[in-house]
Amino acid sequence: MQRRELLASGGAIASLAMFASHALAQSATGGKLIPWSDRPLPLPSPIDKVVTNLQRWEDLDTWITPNDKLFGVGHYGYPTIDEKTWKLNVAGSVAKPATFTLAGLKALPRQEVISTIECSGNNGFPFLDGQIGNAKWAGASLAEILKAAQIKSGAVEVVFYGVDQGDDVAHKGAPFELTYTDTFARSMSIEDAMNSANMLCYEMNGSALPARNGFPVRLIAPGWYGIANVKWLGRIEVRDTHYLGKFMGREYVTLRQGEQDGKPFMSQTPVGRMLLKSAPAQITSRDGKYQIDGMAWGPDVDAVQVKIDNGPWTRAALDDSKSPYSWRFWHITQALAPGEHTVTSRAIDKSGKVQPAMDDPLIATKKTYWESNGQITRHVQIA
């Protein structure tokens, strides 16, 4: 059986208000789930071919996302890899290049982390709000593998290549237009790559990685948006120049409209670390009261506040953090009159920084949909 990090120890829960563990009211108390009245729109083409298995918030019932429920993103399809022939090369600006088999990686010291993975495109549209999940990952330390490879002086970054490939076009429209086969890859500075939490991961929630989520081996870089967590790894390359492939330099680039000396100025940055965020997940009725449960994630979450309609921000009860990289449940109990209501949440970090509203300049000046951590408002109809 799948291990579920779910229920409070100590059996039955007497009161919703007292309830603060890693579970949702729906699954813990048998309250009646009221579906949100807003519905994400169907995925438009071609996103529907890239993104799969989105989390439907009403279906969420565990703090750890089971392996068959975690969303998937595959920009160049979803490759099937034979573990018997699979190899991982560590190459480039290193004194000791190496090749690993799956058994070779598993023979190295094992480390684990519980971390939430979210696509930076999540909630960028009214149709993408379920690209998130939480899992316990296990694998070998990336930093130790890089140390053993002996990075040469002058190296600046590490590139992680998947085995998945797709066609791309350069010089579009020019007489020398070129179609070429590209390999999915992302890079990281050496300093970021050496973070001890990073791992070459071969296990998700105690089982082999599902094919969808990177079998046999993927990078898990806790605290970074999904795109950094390269799946189906084939090659790790240390470089002394910057890698500017499609998913570093053209896609997953956040464009922010600013101004400099009276002229428009577009800042352009590759998607980076996860940002402070929260979302209302479910609303449950029990004994004439309503409990709203949600999630908060990103760095250093310290508090969550909830706003009903245009009312005041009210502090929610926030569950303990079992891992600095994992989402946390929050709960609030509320009386609600019959009719239509809105529920908005915002996370606050340890330094007092608040998850921005959608009309905050941080969000409003952003021209691409990546890294959208604006406050989420859900709608509900109370009978």
What letter would DSSP give residue 359? Answer: T
Least separation in angstroms between residue 113's CB and Mo ion is 19
- Residue 67, by phi and psi: left (phi above 0), alpha (psi -120 to 50) or beta? alpha
164 makes contact with ligand MTE (CB under 6 A): yes
- Among all chains, which residue has been given the structure tokens 């490879």? 149
Least separation in angstroms between residue 226's CB and Mo ion is 4
For residue 301, the partner it binds in ligand MTE, Mo ion, none, with Cβ less than 5 to 8 A by kind, is none
Least separation in angstroms between residue 134's CB and Mo ion is 16
117 makes contact with ligand MTE (CB under 6 A): yes
Q: Which residue's CB is nearer to ligand MTE, number 64 or number 343?
A: 64
Among 24, 34, 73, 81, binds Mo ion (CB under 5 A): 73
Per-residue b or e along 103-135, where b marks 16 or more CB atoms closer than 10 Å to that residue's CB? eebbebeebebbbbbbbbbbbbeebbbbbbbbb
What letter would DSSP give residue 224? Answer: B
380 makes contact with Mo ion (CB under 5 A): no
Task: Indicate the pairing of strand 233-239 with strand 88-92.
Answer: parallel
3-state helix, strand, coil in the chain (%, to 5): 10, 40, 50
Nearest to 37 by CA among 309, 291, 378: 378
Q: Give residue 62's Cα distance to chain centre.
A: 16
Separation of first and last alpha carbons in the chain: 38
216 makes contact with ligand MTE (CB under 6 A): no
CB 206 within 8 A of CB 129: no
**SS3 call for 105:** helix
For residue 25, the partner it binds in ligand MTE, Mo ion, none, with Cβ less than 5 to 8 A by kind, is none
For residue 374, the partner it binds in Mo ion, ligand MTE, none, with Cβ less than 5 to 8 A by kind, is none
Interface segment toward Mo ion; rule CB under 5 A; list 62-70, 133-141, 222-230, 243-251: 222-230
Q: In DSSP terms, which residues pair with 354 in a beta bridge?
A: 348
Among 81, 113, 138, 230, binds ligand MTE (CB under 6 A): 230
Dist. CA 203–CA 162, nearest whole Å: 17
**SS3 call for 349:** strand
117 makes contact with Mo ion (CB under 5 A): no
276 makes contact with ligand MTE (CB under 6 A): no
Among 24, 64, 81, 119, binds Mo ion (CB under 5 A): 119
Residues 169-188 that bind ligand MTE (CB under 6 A): 184
Least separation in angstroms between residue 363's CB and ligand MTE is 20
Among 135, 151, 199, 227, binds Mo ion (CB under 5 A): 227
Q: Which residues, 6 or more positions from 321, have their beta carbon under 8 angstroms from its beta carbon? A: 301, 328
Least separation in angstroms between residue 120's CB and ligand MTE is 7
Contact string 38-77 vs ligand MTE (x = CB under 6 A): --------------------------------xxxxxx--
- In 190-315 the beta strands, taken as DSSP E runs, fall at 199-204, 207-208, 218-220, 233-239, 253-260, 263-270, 277-286, 289-297, 301-308, 314-315
Among 141, 229, 278, 282, binds ligand MTE (CB under 6 A): 229
Q: In DSSP terms, which residues pair with 75 in a beta bridge?
A: 77
Q: Which residue's CB is nearer to Mo ion, number 73 or number 114?
A: 73
Among 36, 232, 297, 327, binds ligand MTE (CB under 6 A): 232
CB 70 within 8 A of CB 130: no
- Among all chains, which residue has been given the structure tokens 């490939």? 165
Number of residues that bind ligand MTE (CB under 6 A): 19
Among 31, 124, 162, 216, binds ligand MTE (CB under 6 A): 162
Least separation in angstroms between residue 213's CB and Mo ion is 13
Please report, as ranges, the residues that interact with ligand MTE according to CB under 6 A.
70-75, 117, 119, 162, 164, 184, 213-214, 226-227, 229-232
Please report, as ranges, the residues that interact with Mo ion according to CB under 5 A.
73, 119, 226-227
